[in-house]
Structure 1
Amino acid sequence: MNKILIVDDHAIVRAGLKQILNEGMLDVTVDEVDCGMGAIERLKHDQYDVILLDISLPDKSGIDVLKRIRADENKTPVLILSIHASDQYALRAFRCGANGYINKEAVTDELLKAVKKVSSGGRYISENTADMLLDILEGDSSEAPHSRLSDREYEVLRLIASGESLTQIGERLSLSVKTISTYRTRILAKMKMKDNNELTHYAIKMDLL
């Protein structure tokens, strides 16, 4: 029996994924949680064959959850689900131990193919994502300013560009305002920008939101 955990904060998305898995796979059990900490707690007590992990969660980013899963020496295959442009998160996800990366808009057959591939010990990326990753590795995207950021800095950049205040970002990430301010200073320096307006304009232009 395949046992799968869905980690996504949208009930309608979880319901859709659950239906696809139940209809497309034989002998499968699907559990679901709506936040990162919920996933971490669930994994302390239950074992799964595959984890479907949303990259954007209300309490922790999918990247942070993935790092925690691997830090706990949990080797369960993780398939990242994302609505973001593949090249913005895919490479970061694989570096943190993801086994696959798929866009939420993928058709049913591709999702089932990805789940089966990672559950059998393989890795899955779409052809489009593979091309983007090759461009990055070959240097075509290596000079993009946001590529210089750490995973946490990149997350703070996206939240700033989304219009959240430093206080709101601190609450979301469970960090002090002072720490978030330090991240903002580093981001501006690394990206050679002056203020939040420039960061926001850049994020929109590069489709980071």
Structure 2
Amino acid sequence: MSTASDRPDAGQPEAGRRTRVMIADDHALVREGLRKVLELDPTIELAGEAATASEVLWHLQRLDVDLVLLDLLMPGCTDVDLIERIVKAHPKLPVLVLTMHADPHIARRALEAGAGGYLTKDISTELLIEAVHQVAAGRSYVDPTLSAALIRPQAGVPQPLDQLSARERQVLVALVQGRALVDIAADMNVAPNTVSTYKSRLMEKLGQNSLSDLVRYSIKLGLTG
């Protein structure tokens, strides 16, 4: 079952008003589906939508938002890095992750970075709406299929992606998404040669010899969306 606990620093919607949710996902079809799901609950209101990390941060400076419904693989930022940036800039704003990742280790990283909840995209409509209300109210909510695994200790178990720096993870995510090095460099505001260096380092750390091997390996780890 889900896990729930109070988070005293969380921002909560004012009594009597609808919960304003911002949807952050780089796939337009997913955003459309989520919008229709949230519209089923009259106590939830759509505050805005974002397709990239920079759009998320830009909108949060300008919109009245009670909760961010966030995909992990947003262009322009790593999963955990974006969560940390949101939490740092808006410490009372709850973040609910909605992703394809069903890996307990990735879920743990997201929660440790400051997310208030973690769901996989195969969750039911009812549980999604429940999670939105729980996290917006300052409580934690974890996908029921992951709760037990998150409780189990993993001391001493090496995790491949832990070897990577935040920048290397950002490059890895972009490469898996099929982004060109020049586009990744523009997103990161660095030279293409710098991105090539990050790519070489992460491939060495993960023991992969080609881009195709790296993509297959990343998919195996669950780094697909």
TM-score by length of 2: 0.77
**Structure 2 counterpart of 1:66, from 79, 83, 90:** 83
Matched residue, 2:62: 45
Do residues 13 (structure 1) and 30 (structure 2) align?
yes
Matched residue, 1:57: 74
**Structure 2 counterpart of 1:188, from 179, 189, 203:** 203
* Percent identity (aligned): 31
Q: Does the 8 A contact of 1:77 with 1:119 survive in 2?
A: yes
Alignment of 1:77-156 (within 5 A): 77-87=94-104, 89-134=106-151, 137-139=153-155, 142-156=157-171
Q: Does the 8 A contact of 1:7 with 1:33 survive in 2?
A: yes
Distance 1:173 1:88 in 2: 26
Matched residue, 2:47: 31
Report the structure, 1 or 2, having the larger helix content.
Answer: 1
Residue 121 of structure 1: CA displacement? 0.9
Distance 2:133 2:66 in 1: 10
Opposite residue 182 of structure 1, the aligned amino acid is T
**Bigger CA drift: 154-163 or 30-39?**
154-163
Do residues 176 (structure 1) and 170 (structure 2) align?
no
TM-score by length of 1: 0.82
**Bigger CA drift: 186-195 or 74-83?**
186-195
Residue 146 of structure 1: CA displacement? 2.4
Q: What are the Cα deviations for residues 21-68 of structure 1, in whole angstroms up to 9, with x where unaligned?
A: 232243x32122233222212222333221111222334445333222
**Bigger CA drift: 155-164 or 16-25?**
155-164
Opposite residue 79 of structure 1, the aligned amino acid is L
Structure scoring higher RCO (CA < 8 A, sep ≥ 6) equals: 2
Aligned residues: CA RMSD? 2.6
